[in-house]
A and B are shown apart, each in its own frame.
Chain A
Amino acid sequence: MEGMTATVPRPSPARPALRALRDRVLRVAELVTTPVLPADYLDMFHPLRAGTDLRGRIEAVLPETPDAATIVIRPGADWQPHRPGQYVRIGIDVDGVRMWRAYSITSDLGRTDGCFTVTVKAIPDGRVSNHLVRRARPGTLVRLDQATGEFCLPEQRPAKALFVTAGSGITPVMGILRNHPELTDVVLVHSAPTADDVVFGAELRQMAAAGRIRLVEQHTDTAGMLDAAAIAALVPDLAERATWACGPVGMLEALEEHWAAAGMADRLYTERFRPTVLVTGEGGTVTFTENGTSLEADGATPILDAAEEAGVLMPSGCRMGICYGCVLPLREGAVRDLRTGEVTTAVPGDGVLVQTCISAAAGACHIDH
């Protein structure tokens, strides 16, 4: 995150003193507010203030396509500017239940209103995505984490870039295109079922018309899917381009294979929205040693999901195996990595760290939590 430090305002010398004073006042206030914290009272009146849990307020929900919308969010005072291409984790109450999901930031860093945007595509039966696209209302408070992710341009900008996206995979790329006008030689190959399903369709076509990018739209309902070879044919100077790809798991795997075969694996950067589930097996009883909860989990459900379903508060992050925000020690028993099928076992006394978001029970297991 070297790029980020430069954009964070340096605290002026007066700031630390002020902060120390504030902390002291809050500590005294805590003596009267115990057992709750002064912050809990302050949050009632100013949920977006500095020094509290990071929150955001939905300011607007702007439809993009029949099933996608851009959500404008005003973040709390502690929000730090993101790097284009990064994502933010949003915790929103859906039917009264707090759910966390990751969304790529699509806005222009130069916005003057202090807001950022994410763009969400509602997937069939998707709980959070449908809520955000169809039911979320301005004024709703959401929880946020700071932006994170490595799907960004390097400091040394590539002379030539290729972006390969499909469906909602356009989002991080839009975040990059909007913020890096210095990229002059850009090809974007984007797939969507129809022209109307292309998220940011108008803006992309305008960029193409203005000569900023070369846009290849593939409407898969009529023209079918593009495979890696077809992309190579469409982009003859592929080997000279640094490539960023984001889309369905199958597409990304095909690209990775092709680039590896061509010896260009280090020129391809990918962003996944969900893990590839390879193998599932038997489930088992998961017991959380500290909070005492025991639950039956099947062999296809990540322990994270099963535990949350049972009302256990779980640490989590990307929910797809990349950030390690969900790691907990496995004390005893076995879990299966849903991406590889690999089984990790622990004998009593062990504390093997496992990622609960991509691990399913493979028999009875005890997890410290």
Chain B
Amino acid sequence: MTVVQKKTDNPIAHLTADDVELLGKELDEIRQEVMDSRGESDARYIRRVIDVHRKIELGSRAVLLASGFPPAWVLGTIGLSVAKILENMEIGHNILHGQWDWMRDPKIHSTTWDWDMASPVEQWKHSHNELHHTYTNVIGKDNDLGYGIMRVDEDQPWTPMYLGQPLWSFINACFFEYGIAAYDLELGAVLAKKQTSDPEFRKRARAVLVKIGKQARKDYLVHPLLSGPNFFATLAANFTANIVRNLWSNSVILCGHFPEGVETFEKKSIEGETRGEWYLRQMLGSANISGSKAMHVLTGNLSHQIEHHLFPDLPSNRYAEIAPKIRDLFDRYGLNYHTAPLPRQVGSAWHKIIRLSLPNGWLQNTTARNLPSQLAKLWKMTTGEPKVRRRLIREQAALAAA
């Protein structure tokens, strides 16, 4: 994939500036319709989800007090995983987006909510709501694209270091919440610029540590202690539930912007961007997951990533309702509504992670038959003289293009 502006088959070349503005108007209307009809049934929905989450969480933790008994361990761990997923996705993510602020309930408000997650809400809201949602899929601006540690685009020069990308992506997925916290802290940049003594940074880092401390104390100390002789079994159950939740949320988020075919954008392309153009970028830069109602709820309705990115502050339970209208709009404007079942989208995203961990074209040029020679070339590209490396890299790219 390359940024949309450099593509030979630019998927938006057929749209005039007027088309784009018209598209923006149509989207504004769809948004307004939902805004005007928010009401009691929506409020009932979010309260019910919160209620269900709390009951599952409470029940699972109670069951885990007997975690030494294997069926209790299994049941409790599944329950707690589901509870943590609900809490982060359908509840936390969406409340922190301000989707429920209109209810004026101080208990369910983006300015008062806190979640079971390593990243303190203020920091997350800044990096997610303000940066990611504003600069969606703009290379160099949207850190959600690879979180600053991955090669996410062919145009990023390949270096041997990226061969480790699948591995560290997987590790990042397992400990996703800590990854997010580090990235909300902009830890990478701070370390690179040696600014760790900056008081502002220290304050934020302390907030993260306090938050992590509370979460860890709950899952790895107090709850296990309450389990008495089942201390280690409960600890293991909580650890597992956290990993399950992390893998799940990482998968959902990968599906949102990373599958093959989702577009990325150049930095300068968003200068002076109109509302219509912003909408268009959100449409092309997001991908949906198709599936059951339960799957939608467990993804926090981020399975409707396209709708969510168009209207980040509409109540999540309404995305499904507007999805057909949005899809129709895509069709009428000749755009590709990117949607597929979860396994396909996850597979596609990981395929891309692996492809980009290798030099451009390498994966494409490799077959079962030429595998030994391709591996030999990869070895040379990794360890050879700079000149040899550069030549081989060019060769692979040219071969793939041909």
Contact = CB atoms under 8 A, between A and B. Distances in A.
B115 interface: yes
Interface stretch (A9-17, A96-104, A193-201): A96-104
B260 interface: no
A311 interface: yes
Given A34-B218, A313-B109, A96 B40 contact: yes
Interface in A32-80: 32-36, 40-41, 44
B214 A34 contact: yes
Nearest to A43: B107
A185 to B, nearest CB: 46
A308 B104 contact: yes
Interface stretch (B95-103, B184-192, B360-368, B392-400): B95-103
Nearest to B121: A35
Contacts of B105: 93, 98
Given A35-B214, A93-B43, A291-B111, A313 B106 contact: yes
Contact of A32 (B39, B54, B61, B115): B61
A196 B7 CA distance: 77
Contacts of B111: 291, 313
Contacts of A313: 101, 104, 106, 109, 111-112
Contacts of A33: 218
B38 interface: yes
Contacts of A98: 103-105
B116 A95 contact: no
Contact of A311 (B51, B98, B214): B98
A31 interface: yes
A312 B104 CA distance: 7
Interface string B28-44: 00000000001111111
A82 B341 CA distance: 60
A311 B40 contact: no
A326 to B, nearest CB: 14
A44 B47 CA distance: 11
Contacts of B39: 95-96
Contact of A40 (B40, B54, B115, B223): B54
Contacts of A311: 98, 101-102, 104
Contact of B222 (A32, A40, A95): A32
Contacts of B106: 313
A96 B44 CA distance: 8
Contacts of A291: 111
Nearest to A93: B43
Interface residues of B, number: 33
Contacts of A44: 51, 54-55
Contacts of A34: 214-215, 218
Contacts of A36: 54, 114
Contacts of B101: 311-313
Given A32-B223, A291-B111, A311-B101, A96 B218 contact: no
B163 interface: no
B110 to A, nearest CB: 8
B40 A31 contact: no
A32 B104 contact: no
Contact of A97 (B44, B104, B112, B215): B104
Contacts of A93: 40, 43, 103, 105
B238 to A, nearest CB: 11
B217 interface: yes
Nearest to A308: B104
A96 B214 contact: no
B40 A95 contact: yes
A35 B216 CA distance: 12
Nearest to A96: B43
B388 interface: no
Interface in B211-260: 214-215, 217-218, 222-223, 226
B210 to A, nearest CB: 11
B235 to A, nearest CB: 13
A170 to B, nearest CB: 30
Nearest to B219: A32
A41 B54 contact: yes
Interface centre among A96, A99, A308, by most chain B C-beta atoms within 10 angstroms, is A96
B38 A96 contact: yes
A44 B48 CA distance: 11
Contacts of A99: 104
B383 to A, nearest CB: 49
A199 to B, nearest CB: 28
B102 A35 contact: no
A31 B54 contact: no
B58 interface: yes
A35 B61 CA distance: 15
The winner among A35, A44, A93, A99 for most chain B CB atoms within 10 A is A35
A35 B54 contact: no
Residue among A36, A99, A308 with max Cβ neighbours from chain B (10 Å): A36
Contacts of A35: 114-116, 214
Interface in B72-123: 98, 101-107, 109, 111-112, 114-116
12 contacts: A31-B217, A35-B214, A44-B54, A93-B105, A96-B40, A96-B41, A96-B42, A96-B102, A311-B101, A313-B104, A313-B106, A313-B112
Given A35-B114, A98-B103, 4 more contacts: A36-B54, A95-B39, A96-B44, A311-B101
